[in-house]
Structure 1
């Protein structure tokens, strides 16, 4: 983690206390069986991703965790789309299809959770998500980081098919928060970010997209 200059800002303190309780979609109490076959040669599976990017069974908790097989994770998340199948749409708002296998996903916050900033090199830096390494990564856009005061979390652009906004895992968000700058008299949220010797104004352009995806 980079050195933190000055006292911890209110946004960072909220991040430290955040229990990760916001749910992306409701609909508890639905009835399903893992591996059920609602029609011939079709199987359905149900998953959950928590605010750290861990994937597990489709109940309200991410346990038991799935094996962290990169090949499975890349297949699963690269095919993730909004669930418009007519089945479990309210409870599992995302769907990953693999042949005749339907993999439904619900999430604690966002389906994409950024876990690592990949090592710097000659190419632009990238943010990796959900355990997929280089195979699941997007260009890092520091000016488009979105700190949200209501829950103390940090967000970044994600693939459009997965909602367009991803959550930054807490540990990585703490590291990035050291680069934020705050306007005089406005300590609640940062206004700029310093990255690799450059100073960027935070665009906050993800806010409407994130709020539009938040259920009432």
Structure 2
């Protein structure tokens, strides 16, 4: 465990990605470039609010890419890509129940003496690819751009298209709220198999491997999401 913690720390505080300095941020709910909130948020990457405790702050976009929250440029070149780090980080991701930064960072990934606070455009777990069947014959969805390292069983009959924003969701682990966004590229591929009744904005069936599956969306009711994007609320 100690070596794992050290590996996590080395990745998290890479000198080219984190500078220990105060950040006075504006809490944005991103819809294009519109400013929706001007409530100030203050933190210091790597701050130590109590002895032997360090705190870091991250952001996950709607494509499932993980960034330092205060990174000026958020694109593929600046996101975290190391699969070992992603597995370590996301396997510990859960709802924030620490009461620290709860209104701004509703998720957390705990690693020993490190608290990694997380906020996201929509959901912290974003399904990024559909993978081939595993040795056990099970189809899976990969998330967080980690390939086969991070997966959940694919439940095609539980795909849900939100009629308000058109985004597609799939069940996720209870620790992160029970729901995960399907990234746009994968959602477009899967949407070809949806069956829409005339005049209805929401699909009722999903055609998969020659079967016509009735969509079951009751599971969405008991899920939790804390998106920054207003269109997802």
Scaled by the length of structure 1, the TM-score of the pair is 0.81
Which of 86, 111, 128 is the matching residue for 1:73? 86
Structure 1, unpaired ranges of 5+: 1-19
Aligned counterpart, 2:114: 101
Aligned counterpart, 1:199: 212
Aligned counterpart, 1:186: 199
Give per-residue Cα distances to partners, 1:98-149, cap 9 Å, x unaligned. Answer: 1000000000000100000012355210001102222311100001000001
The answer to whether the Cα contact below 8 Å between 1:77 and 1:96 also exists between their aligned partners in 2 is: yes
Mapped to 1, the partners of 2:38 and 2:116 lie a distance apart of 17
Aligned counterpart, 2:129: 116
Deviates more, 1:198-207 or 1:73-82: 198-207
- Say whether residues 1:87 and 2:103 are aligned partners: no
Scaled by the length of structure 2, the TM-score of the pair is 0.76
Change (3 A) 1:54 1:95: same
How far has the Cα of 1:176 moved from its partner? 0.2
How far has the Cα of 1:27 moved from its partner? 8.9
Change (3 A) 1:149 1:67: same
Structure 2, unpaired ranges of 5+: 1-29, 228-232
Change (3 A) 1:89 1:214: closer
Change (3 A) 1:213 1:27: farther
What is the number of equivalent residue pairs in this alignment?
A: 192
Structure 1 consecutive aligned stretches of length 4 or more whose deviation exceeds 3 Å? 59-62, 212-216
Mapped to 1, the partners of 2:61 and 2:110 lie a distance apart of 21
Aligned counterpart, 1:57: 68
Change (3 A) 1:200 1:126: same
Mapped to 1, the partners of 2:73 and 2:85 lie a distance apart of 17
Q: CA RMSD in A?
A: 2.3
Higher relative contact order (CA 8 A, sep 6+): 1
